[in-house]
Amino acid sequence: MPLSILTWILIVTIINGLLAFAGGIFYLILRKNLNRILIFFVAFTTGALLGGAFFHFLPEAFTELNLYLIIILTITGIFLFYIVEKILHWHHCHDGKCKKHPFTFLILYGDAIHNFIDGLIIAGSFLISVPFGFFTSALILLHELPQEIGDFGVLIYGGHSVSRALIYNFLAQLTSILGGILGYFFITEQQSIYLLPVAAGGFLYIAIADLIPEIFKQKKPITIVINLMAIIFGILILISAKLFGG
């Protein structure tokens, strides 16, 4: 007896959630040298965030929304993440002492929105056809894997322990299951499109206001060059996913 569409959606989104542990596996393999290369993960994630905003979320939003609404929603996302960061800074960084940088929590919130939208996309693709659902899901999982490794590196760099980084990353990844279920039962593609520019604004804020200043703290010329290459690589990964995935 073939599995139902909802069952396939749940299976794929659960697998998507388990990708959060890829960062932990990568850590275990390279933990002896991880402290030296963490900043490169930060740079890669910066590129991935910029690429996701400019080459995925905003172009997709342009297919349904007009320019002025997209600008308004993107700015809303930027201000929303700014306000959230200031609240987190007040809670976590009293008197300038900050054990866990606020941008790590913003990464998680932004990733949760991203994964929720991924869940909606997965549900919508399976509703079109099961083969198309498999194809779309494979592309999402492939571009999600390097991003999860990068996000894990950012969480460690920002002060989280390995266990907390794994748990938080996993919980943020699980929103794809919620997106898949809601996408199947309630939410149409026309409604979910409004989330895209808000998420894009959040990703742009994290990359430009938080991660790039961290990268600029590096002074060695070779490190600066490698970080720049990591940012470009992160952008190219997302461009490739768009070009070959549609």
Q: Which residue has the tokens 């996000």?
A: 151
Q: Which of 57, 69, 77, 75 is nearest to 196 (CA)?
A: 57
Instruction: Give me the percent of the chain exceeding a pLDDT of 70.
Output: 85
pLDDT tens-digit profile of 178-188?
999 999 998 76
Cα-based distances in Å from 198 to 70, 133, 171:
8, 25, 21
Q: Can you give the C-alpha Rg of the chain in angstroms? A: 18
Residue 91: the pLDDT is: 43
pLDDT tens-digit profile of 100-113?
566 777 778 878 88
Task: Indicate the pLDDT class of residue 189, thresholds 50, 70 and 90.
Answer: low
Handedness of CA 214, 159, 77, 44 (dihedral sign): positive
Task: Indicate the pLDDT class of residue 84, thresholds 50, 70 and 90.
Answer: confident
Distance CA 183, CA 194 (A): 14
Residue 96: the pLDDT is: 44
Between 36 and 231, residue with greater pLDDT: 231
State the CB neighbour count (10 A cutoff) for residue 47. 25
Between 218 and 119, residue with greater pLDDT: 119
Between 238 and 181, residue with greater pLDDT: 181
Q: Check whether 57 has a pLDDT greater than 80.
A: yes
Residue 76: the pLDDT is: 94
Distance CA 208, CA 190 (A): 29
pLDDT tens-digit profile of 193-234?
887 898 889 889 988 988 898 888 888 888 889 999 999 998
Instruction: Give me the percent of the chain exceeding a pLDDT of 90.
Output: 22
Distance CA 38, CA 225 (A): 15
Residue 159's φ and ψ, nearest 5 degrees, are 115, 0
Structure tokens at 12: 């794929």
Distance CA 246, CA 230 (A): 24
Residue 246: the pLDDT is: 58
Supply the pTM of this predicted model. 0.69
Residue 42: the pLDDT is: 83
Q: Where are the alpha helices (H) located in 158-220, listed in sequence order? A: 162-173, 175-185, 189-192, 195-205, 212-216
Task: Check: CB of residue 201 under 8 Å from CB of residue 17.
Answer: no
Segment 67-74 mean pLDDT: 96
Segment 86-96 mean pLDDT: 51
